[in-house]
Amino acid sequence: MSSSSYCLLHFCFLLIISTCIAQTTSRPKTLFLAVKKDPSTLQYITEIHQRTPLVPLKLAIHLGGESLWVDCEQDYESSTYKPARCNSRQCNLARSTACGSCHTGTGTRPGCNSNACYNVVENPVIDTIYTGGEIAKDVLSVGSVNGTFLGPVATMSRFIFSCAPSYLTRSLGKDVKGMIGFGQQSPVSLATQFASAFRFSRTFAICLSSTKELDVNGIIYIGQSPYLFSPGYDASRDLIYTPIITYSPSSIYINRPSSEYYIQVSSIKINGKALPLNKTLLSLDKNGNGGTRISTTLPYTVLETSIYNAVIKAFVKEMPKEVRSVPAVQPFTTCFNSRDVGMSRLGYSAPEINFVLHKQNVHWKITGANSLVEVSGDVICLAFVERRQESGQSVIVGGFQMQDNLIEFDLSKKRIGFSNSLFFRQTMCSNQGFA
């Protein structure tokens, strides 16, 4: 696409969005979503309100997803649902891949209309994509923050999303009706649409809670900081940044930059000692292999086999001699007797793992709270799993390693900020008072 075409498309996007804002008492600068961890699937789930009349919808968080998609086959009823018509500006914004008509024996319905456009929607949990997601518009509402207090509900009257068939929700959590995407490069991600509608920064921050109580949540902030946690701590003050790496896959379905988030991990250290790794594995190649990706749909960090073996060997070597190994518990291979391991404010007393990022002095620190997971009353395991596929990213950072870390995604500056564990500051992701 030429620069002039891109600018025209961006202008059209702003024009569309400017007409999609419902009345609110004020223009919020920061929105938020409460996030829970589903105990059976280990997926991170949020709830939005959509349609007319508004109904609550549970959606799984897909950090690298291009858009919000929902099951439109079952119980989708709304007086304000409107499909995007072929060749419309909404179709272009949502990167439509096809256009056509759909009919059922009883006429049209949400997700199946005449002269509508479609795009690709994905459920990475079951490694499935669907190319016939009808692009549509409807009312959508989320909460907002006004300083240190809850603000008014923020509503878009014509939020762009995609419809999907019921089967695409397979393996999602109980009562989860779709996925909510925050992907980079996407004009219709939730963060981008609300930022354009309410004219705030194209920035969002994820803070996943490790707390197991059902009434305690993590949070996603959408918009500008501060990111406030008790006791009076603003996590935006201590962020360290690394660039977002863009990658354009060669695919019969998608011919544009990936919406996933890639970063450069240049080495891995355990207790300050660099691991002997094949450094070529740490760089993302033109086919999308190697390198490091961040994912909210994987429960634990996945490592390429040689990297995994190096991490296991070094971690075990650095554990105190009195810590007894115990039989493995799937999907893990390295487990210990928890009664032999001390505790601190940073979780289990364990060797510190450092992902060294684009510079030698920029580290993502992984302490015991994010490296060892309790699998039974007296068994803890190293919370990393081996990559089973022959190809793919060498490191995929999963949800467990992100818990109680605030991670900011600054789309305007193309960078990601890391707080490292909030336990260093004697707080945690559930201590924000909004969600």
CB 143 within 8 A of CB 152: no
> Between residues 108 and 264, which one has the greater pLDDT?
264
- 199 pLDDT above the threshold of 70: yes
Over residues 70-80, the pLDDT tens digits come to 999 999 999 99
Domains for the chain: give ranges and CATH numbers.
30-228 (2.40.70.10), 239-419 (2.40.70.10)
pLDDT at residue 91, as a whole number: 96
pLDDT at residue 212, rounded to an integer:
75
Contact assessment for residue 156 and residue 21, using Cβ atoms and an 8 Å cutoff: yes
Q: Name the pLDDT band for 118 (thresholds 50, 70, 90).
A: very high
**Residue 435 pLDDT > 80, yes or no?**
no
Q: Which pLDDT score, from 0 to 100, does residue 73 have? A: 94
Residues 6 or more apart in contact with residue 90 via CB below 8 angstroms: 16, 84, 117, 135, 137, 160
At residue 383, does pLDDT exceed 50?
Answer: yes
Higher model confidence: residue 16 or residue 400? 400
Q: How far apart are CA 224 and CA 191, in angstroms?
A: 11
pLDDT, residue 75, reads: 92
| Per-residue pLDDT at 259 | 93
- 169, two tokens: 């929700």
Contact (CB, 8 A) for 169 and 394: no
Q: Report helix angle 3-18 to 190-198, nearest 10.
A: 70
Q: CA 412: distance to chain centroid?
A: 17
**Could you give the strand order of the β-sheet that contains 325-326, starting from the edge strand earlier in sequence?**
325-326, 335-337, 379-382, 372-376
The region of weakest confidence among 24-33, 43-52, 89-98, 150-159 is 24-33
pLDDT of residue 19: 38
- Per-residue pLDDT band for 213 (boundaries 50, 70, 90) equals confident
Q: Average model confidence (pLDDT) for the chain?
A: 91
What are residue 206's phi and psi, to 5 degrees?
A: -110, 135
Q: What pTM value is reported for the model?
A: 0.91
Q: How far apart are CA 160 and CA 270, in angstroms?
A: 45
Q: What is the pLDDT of residue 105?
A: 65
Share of the chain above pLDDT 90, in %: 81
Question: Tens digit of pLDDT for each residue in 299-347?
Answer: 999 999 999 999 999 999 999 999 999 999 999 999 999 999 999 999 9
Q: How many CB atoms lie within 10 A of CB 203?
A: 22
* Confidence (pLDDT) at 225: 86
| Residue 409: Cβ within 10 Å count | 22
With residue 335 as reference, give the H or E element that holds it. strand 335-337
Confidence of residue 375 (pLDDT cuts 50, 70, 90): very high
Q: How far apart are CA 274 and CA 267, in angstroms?
A: 7
Helices (H) and strands (E) in the chain, counts: 6, 33
Quote the pLDDT of residue 106.
Answer: 67
* Residue 354 scores a pLDDT above 80: yes
- Cis amide prior to 257 (ω within 30 degrees): no
- Side by side, the strands of the sheet bearing 273-274 are 273-274, 267-270, 353-356, 363-366
Q: Which two tokens stand for residue 312?
A: 């296991």
Write down the pLDDT at residue 104.
Answer: 67
Task: Answer yes or no: is pLDDT of 96 > 80.
Answer: yes
Q: Once rounded to an integer, what is the mean pLDDT over residues 84-111?
A: 88
CA nearest to 403, candidates 344, 346, 359, 342 = 346
Instruction: List pLDDT tens digits, range 401-411.
Output: 999 999 999 99
| Residue range 402-431: mean pLDDT, rounded | 96
CA 387 and chain centroid, separation: 20
Which residues is 373 bridged to in the sheet?
Answer: 381
